[in-house]
Amino acid sequence: MSRRNLCRIGPMILVTALSAGCAAHLQTKTVQTSDTYDLWASRMQSMPFVIHQKDGQIALVDVHGDPWRGSTEGLEDGSVQRVEVYEGAFAAPSATMCKAPMAPPRSGITASSDNVVAAICDRDRTVVSFSDTIRPRVLGSKTEYVSRVRHLLLEGIWESVAQEPEPLHT
């Protein structure tokens, strides 16, 4: 293969690799102007991540993926700030993911299409959410996956129209 052909193919390979890694779909319409990246990055340091596993078990972890050592009061009725994460096969994050009683979003994808939906919950209000395709080995590492959940949720706030200097009016 000539150097010229490599120069043409190189950028195509790069674009393909980058697009393959971008499986998350952010839902940012619920972000308000008061929901800043810095505010929620700080709050997430002391919020539980409630991970609803496919087998029906619930894991409570902190922002580092370690077992949650804080209070569990208010988690069942949705009266505390938290991050809700559902593992399974879902079409999209549900608008009611943060409302009590907690119910998993409705399935909408074939059983072989594992994904995760997650949201920052300011009590019963969804701040930002996303849907992300995921491999089982990544789900097995809570520290690795919680870091991804945190990153995607904060990215959603950062990229939202509400965070533009002069929000667009439609």
Task: Give residue 94's domain range.
Answer: 24-163
Query: What's residue 103's pLDDT?
Result: 59
Query: What's residue 167's pLDDT?
Result: 54
Do the bridges between strand 82-88 and strand 58-61 make them parallel or antiparallel, or are there none, so unpaired?
Answer: unpaired
- Rounded Cα distance between 161 and 163, Å, is 5
Residue 9 in domain? no
Query: What's residue 115's pLDDT?
Result: 84
Domain count along the chain: 1
Query: What's residue 5's pLDDT?
Result: 45
Residue 116 in domain? yes
Residue 14 in domain? no
Residue 17 in domain? no
Q: Which residues of the chain have pLDDT under 50?
A: 1-22, 111
Residue 19 in domain? no
- Rounded Cα distance between 37 and 24, Å, is 18
Query: What's residue 101's pLDDT?
Result: 62
- Rounded Cα distance between 50 and 81, Å, is 11
Residue 7 in domain? no
User: What residues form DSSP beta bridges with 125?
Assistant: 122
